């Protein structure tokens, strides 16, 4: 048995965009000292789907006349793909790409896959790779599913959300334009994006890229002392995310300068979590919209100036709900517009429309709630990154866990070779340290 839920306009738009670009799959990984029991992990995945229905959902087939997509939420049967592979003697990056670069056929399978890589964890333990399709969930949603997976694996009852999945969907109805102020926000948001057609964002200098499909990955960790200073010693009105954004903008500018490429306007895509404060880290689903944070050369004279400029922008995004304005634009499409016609809209991002895309993407989950250990006394390290795609070829996922900031870099193979990717990650970390100083 199953029940149906319509796609939100956020889910529908991401579905269309993914169709035009690379697979939009979120990377969530857990390095552990544990040797994972795959059968037990499969049972835990089924439990996670029972707690978070979107993890086990499928997309109902549609035709040319369909005006909305729908999810089918199973009531009692879950068929999550859970497998294992020996990591010894194999290229971890190739294993990651085989999982994360593989598209989901949402009409045939749920948007959630799990793979155990033997021996690629901590001290010979395993590494759990979770691939979550971005149509179904954002970073917070993927985190909730991963938490439920760990809780169920260790035999605990997964933590319940304060609102149900169905109740959470009604929150999106409140984002439809209903007043003059809402309408002005819609126009303001649209104008901001259209300006990029005239003043296109900087592209990061390519170094050593190849024609190979897929991504490369790099990881960095800020130690507890540096993290404590980042969290506890900032100017008024500047958040942790503002400092990280400023460091990324400054790093891109220096990288381009060092590689003979200018960096006038830098635009970094930033997901905005639309969940209310009382369930900000709850409910697996797609409840994020995307805005751009921009700096120009005059804003990057030093880290403090850049952080203050970025802080003013992010405060405005939060106060004026500019991220929700894009959702409102989608909701203003004429009722009954066929999904096949709406599918054509992302093609505007190709060719001249490529200027609407950002320089890079930074997704910061913040201080994530404690991830339950798979077993008593086990040690774990979580990693997370959003997708990168043509036009926005570099993405960074940030998560603060147990007093340390973890940064996961994902970039197209056409952008950097492995050495250049590692060097670019060092540029970013160096600028984080300099910003804190």
SS3 (DSSP) at 208: strand
User: Looking at 108, 143, 169, which one is the last position of a domain?
Assistant: 169
Q: Are residues 77 and 223 in the same domain?
A: no
d(CA 421, CA 208): 9
Pairing relationship of beta strands 380-385 and 394-401 according to DSSP bridges: unpaired
pLDDT class of 324 with cuts at 50, 70, 90: very low
The yes-or-no verdict on residue 237 having pLDDT over 90 is: no
- Give the residue-averaged pLDDT of 419-430: 97
Q: Are residues 131 and 221 in the same domain?
A: no
Phi, psi of 69 (to 5 degrees): -85, 160
Beta bridge partners, 6, equal 70
Q: Are residues 61 and 154 in the same domain?
A: yes
Q: Are residues 118 and 182 in the same domain?
A: no
- Give the residue-averaged pLDDT of 352-376: 78
Q: Is 408 left (phi over 0), alpha (psi -120 to 50) or beta?
A: beta
Q: Is residue 374 part of a domain?
A: no
Half-sphere exposure of 211 (CA within 13 A, CB side): 0
The candidate with the shortest Cα–Cα distance to 379, out of 19, 33, 4, is 33
The per-residue pLDDT for range 110-142, each reduced to its tens digit, is 999 999 999 999 999 999 999 999 999 999 999
Q: Are residues 165 and 177 in the same domain?
A: no
> How many beta carbons lie within 10 A of that of residue 197, not counting itself?
12
Contact (CB, 8 A) for 211 and 331: no
Q: Are residues 74 and 165 in the same domain?
A: yes
The candidate with the shortest Cα–Cα distance to 12, out of 286, 347, 290, 387, is 286
d(CA 337, CA 391): 28
CATH of the domain at 69: 3.30.559.10
The candidate with the shortest Cα–Cα distance to 303, out of 293, 311, 315, is 311
The per-residue pLDDT for range 2-52, each reduced to its tens digit, is 789 999 888 888 888 888 788 999 999 999 999 999 999 999 999 999 999
Q: Is residue 247 part of a domain?
A: yes
pLDDT class of 176 with cuts at 50, 70, 90: low
CATH of the domain at 276: 3.30.559.30
The yes-or-no verdict on residue 179 having pLDDT over 50 is: no
Q: Is residue 379 part of a domain?
A: no
Q: Is residue 380 part of a domain?
A: no
Query: What's the pLDDT at 209?
Result: 92
Query: What's the pLDDT at 14?
Result: 86
Q: Are residues 276 and 140 in the same domain?
A: no
Q: Is residue 125 part of a domain?
A: yes
Question: Mean pLDDT across the chain, nearest whole number?
Answer: 86
d(CA 377, CA 398): 25
**Can you list the positions of beta strands (E) in 45-111?**
58-59, 70-74, 81-86
pLDDT class of 353 with cuts at 50, 70, 90: very low
The yes-or-no verdict on residue 275 having pLDDT over 80 is: yes
User: Looking at 132, 153, 169, which one is the last position of a domain?
Assistant: 169
Q: Are residues 134 and 283 in the same domain?
A: no
The candidate with the shortest Cα–Cα distance to 294, out of 273, 323, 264, 319, is 264
| Token output for 275 | 């969940």
The yes-or-no verdict on residue 422 having pLDDT over 80 is: yes
pLDDT class of 325 with cuts at 50, 70, 90: very low
User: Looking at 126, 144, 169, which one is the last position of a domain?
Assistant: 169
Query: What's the pLDDT at 103?
Result: 94
Q: Are residues 306 and 204 in the same domain?
A: yes
Q: Is residue 48 part of a domain?
A: yes
Does pTM surpass 0.85?
yes
Q: Is residue 378 part of a domain?
A: no
Provide the residue range defining the domain that includes 321.
172-367+386-436
| Token output for 429 | 């970390």
Q: Are residues 109 and 238 in the same domain?
A: no
Query: What's the pLDDT at 328?
Result: 53
Query: What's the pLDDT at 338?
Result: 66
Q: Are residues 15 and 47 in the same domain?
A: yes
The yes-or-no verdict on residue 74 having pLDDT over 90 is: no
SS (H, E, C) 221-268: EECHHHHHHHHHCCCCCCCHHHHHHHHHHHHHHHHHHHCCCCCCCEEE
Q: Is residue 260 part of a domain?
A: yes
Query: Which range has the worst mean pLDDT, 63-72, 268-277, 359-368?
Result: 63-72
The residue among 191 and 320 whose pLDDT is bigger is 191
Q: Are residues 193 and 52 in the same domain?
A: no
d(CA 166, CA 142): 18
Query: What's the pLDDT at 174?
Result: 61
Handedness of CA 26, 30, 35, 39 (dihedral sign): negative
The domain total for the chain is 2
Query: What's the pLDDT at 342?
Result: 62
The yes-or-no verdict on residue 184 having pLDDT over 70 is: no
428 Cβ contact list (under 8 Å, min separation 6): 220, 247, 248, 251, 396, 407, 409
Contact (CB, 8 A) for 389 and 22: yes
d(CA 343, CA 347): 8
Query: What's the pLDDT at 368?
Result: 79
The per-residue pLDDT for range 45-64, each reduced to its tens digit, is 999 999 999 999 999 988 76
The residue among 232 and 141 whose pLDDT is bigger is 141
| Token output for 191 | 């104008």
- Give the residue-averaged pLDDT of 172-190: 52
Contact (CB, 8 A) for 107 and 113: no
- Give the residue-averaged pLDDT of 63-69: 77
């Amino acid at each position: 048995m199953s029940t149906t839920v319509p796609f939100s306009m956020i889910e529908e738009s991401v579905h269309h965009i993914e169709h035009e670009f690379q697979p939009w799959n979120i990377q969530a990984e857990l390095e552990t000292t544990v040797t994972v029991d795959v059968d037990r992990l499969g049972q835990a995945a089924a439990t996670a789907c029972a707690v978070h229905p979107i993890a086990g959902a499928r997309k109902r087939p549609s035709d040319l006349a369909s005006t909305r997509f729908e999810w089918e939420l199973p009531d009692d049967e879950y068929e999550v793909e859970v497998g294992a592979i020996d990591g010894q003697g194999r290229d971890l990056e190739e294993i990651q790409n085989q999982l994360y670069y593989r598209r989901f056929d949402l009409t045939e399978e749920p948007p959630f896959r799990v793979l155990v890589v033997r021996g690629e964890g901590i001290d010979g333990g395993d590494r759990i790779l979770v691939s979550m399709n971005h149509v179904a969930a954002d970073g917070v949603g993927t985190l909730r599913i991963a938490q439920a997976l760990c809780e169920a694996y260790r035999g605990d009852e997964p933590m319940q959300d304060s609102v149900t999945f169905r109740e959470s969907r009604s929150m999106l109805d409140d984002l439809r334009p209903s007043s003059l102020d809402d309408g002005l926000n819609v126009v303001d948001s649209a104008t901001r994006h259209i300006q990029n057609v005239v003043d296109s964002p900087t592209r990061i200098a390519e170094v050593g890229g190849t024609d190979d499909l897929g991504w490369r990955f790099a990881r960095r960790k800020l130690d507890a002392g540096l993290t404590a200073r980042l969290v506890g010693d900032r100017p008024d009105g500047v958040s942790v995310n503002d400092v990280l954004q400023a460091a990324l903008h400054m790093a891109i500018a220096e990288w381009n300068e060092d590689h003979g490429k200018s960096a006038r306007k830098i635009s970094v895509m930033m997901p905005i979590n639309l969940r209310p404060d009382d369930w900000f880290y709850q409910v697996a689903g797609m409840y994020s919209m995307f805005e751009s944070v921009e700096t120009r050369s005059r804003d990057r004279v030093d880290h403090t100036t850049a952080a203050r400029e970025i802080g003013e922008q992010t405060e405005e995004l939060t106060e004026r709900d500019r991220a929700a304005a894009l959702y409102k634009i989608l909701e203003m499409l004429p009722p009954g517009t066929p999904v096949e016609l709406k599918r054509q809209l992302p093609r505007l991002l190709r060719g001249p429309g490529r200027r609407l895309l950002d320089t890079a993407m930074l997704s910061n989950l913040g201080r994530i709630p404690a991830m339950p250990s798979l077993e008593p006394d086990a040690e774990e390290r979580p990693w997370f990154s959003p997708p990168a795609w043509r036009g926005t070829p570099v993405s960074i996922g940030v998560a603060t866990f147990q007093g340390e900031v973890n940064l996961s870099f994902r970039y197209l193979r056409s952008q950097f070779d492995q050495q250049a990717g590692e060097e670019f990650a060092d540029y970013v970390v160096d600028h984080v340290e300099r910003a804190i100083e």
